[in-house]
């Protein structure tokens, strides 16, 4: 059994009292944190001591996904603890260079196509299309699977990467009228199309921009994938 905690669901900046991308996945005894955006560390600390995470997985190094990483560093240093961190290589990112240079993070570089065994759990690394190096992840545990796209626009491989997910957590920032092929994100409608093409059991659309009305995203997505939910900070989803 897996359980997903939505800690931060906004991007690229938070709404009032909100947080940008951050999701905690419980998979048996393991605690996998996906992204650690602005405001996520406090929300995570309300659930568990962050140094007890099995590992932190970063989709990419944009600040709305990794801003709390250097703050987590202070806590780990205070406790003299080391945390495994997985993420794509991005030498242009100051956060990437920081994580590689301090001993409290045990960093492993990942790239699309990697098949990881992390503390007995299978985690596959998926491609993403974004202006900086970025990946998504699929976690398989106990007959279920959780897919997280990170930030991405369309990519032919996505439907295969997220095939049959029990739960797909997908970037769907744009309403239809604002999306173009050259943008850094999917639309909610295209996230729904991905969930349908992949045969996902459930879809949660995330990376919600405070300036974009949620109602429009939900309406457009539900035409394609009727069970679509929008991410809500604090929500807990069993899968
Ligand atoms: Zn983002
Ligand atoms: Zn991004």
- Please check whether residue 203 is in contact with residue 172, taking contact to mean a CB–CB distance below 8 angstroms: no
CA of 173 to the centre of ligand 1 (A): 9
pLDDT in tens, 31-83: 999 999 999 999 999 999 999 999 999 999 999 999 999 999 999 999 999 99
Tally of structural domains, the chain: 1
* Local confidence band at 111 (pLDDT 50, 70, 90 cut-offs): very high
Give residue 3's pLDDT: 98
Of all ligands present, the nearest one to the C-alpha of 132 is 2
Tokens at 186, concatenated: 């999917």
CA distances from 131 to 37, 50, 139, 185, 206 (A): 18, 29, 24, 10, 18
Q: Which residues are CB-contacts of 42 (< 8 A; sequence separation ≥ 6)?
A: 19
| Whole-number Å distance between alpha carbons of 184 and 181 | 8
CA of 63 to the centre of ligand 2 (A): 8
Of all ligands present, the nearest one to the C-alpha of 14 is 1
Expressed as residue numbers, the domain containing 164 is 2-238
Instruction: Report the CATH number that the domain containing residue 53 is assigned in CATH.
Output: 3.60.15.10
Environment class of 114 (CB within 10 Å of its CB; exposed 0-12, middle 13-18, buried 19+)? middle
CA of 11 to the centre of ligand 2 (A): 8
- Please check whether residue 151 is in contact with residue 65, taking contact to mean a CB–CB distance below 8 angstroms: yes
Of all ligands present, the nearest one to the C-alpha of 60 is 2
| Whole-number Å distance between alpha carbons of 21 and 36 | 6
**Ion ligand 2 neighbours, Cβ < 5 Å:** 62, 151
CA of 80 to the centre of ligand 1 (A): 30
* Local confidence band at 215 (pLDDT 50, 70, 90 cut-offs): very high
Whether the full predicted model's pTM is greater than 0.95, yes or no, is yes
Of all ligands present, the nearest one to the C-alpha of 37 is 1
């Amino acid at each position: 059994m897996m359980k997903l905690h939505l800690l931060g669901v906004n991007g690229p900046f938070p709404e009032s009292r909100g947080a940008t991308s951050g999701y905690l996945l419980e998979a048996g005894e393991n605690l996998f944190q996906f992204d650690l955006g602005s405001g996520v560390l406090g929300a995570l600390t309300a659930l568990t001591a962050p140094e007890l995470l099995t590992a932190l997985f970063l989709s990419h190094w944009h600040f709305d996904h990794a801003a709390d990483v250097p703050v987590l560093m202070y806590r780990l240093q205070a406790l003299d603890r080391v945390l495994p961190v997985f993420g794509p290589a991005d030498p242009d990112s100051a956060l990437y260079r920081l994580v590689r240079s301090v001993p409290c993070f045990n960093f492993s570089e990942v790239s699309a196509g990697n098949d990881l065994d992390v503390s007995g759990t299978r985690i596959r690394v998926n491609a993403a299309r974004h202006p900086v190096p970025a990946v998504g992840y699929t976690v398989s545990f106990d007959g279920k699977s959780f897919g997280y796209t990170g930030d991405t626009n369309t990519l032919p491989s996505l439907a295969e990467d997220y095939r049959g997910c029990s739960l797909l957590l997908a970037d769907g920032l744009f309403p239809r009228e604002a999306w173009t092929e050259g943008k850094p994100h999917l639309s909610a409608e295209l996230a729904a199309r991905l969930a349908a093409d992949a045969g996902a059991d459930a879809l949660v659309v995330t990376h919600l921009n405070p300036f974009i009305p949620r109602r429009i995203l939900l309406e457009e997505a539900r035409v394609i994938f009727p069970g679509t939910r929008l991410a809500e900070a604090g929500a807990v989803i069993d899968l």
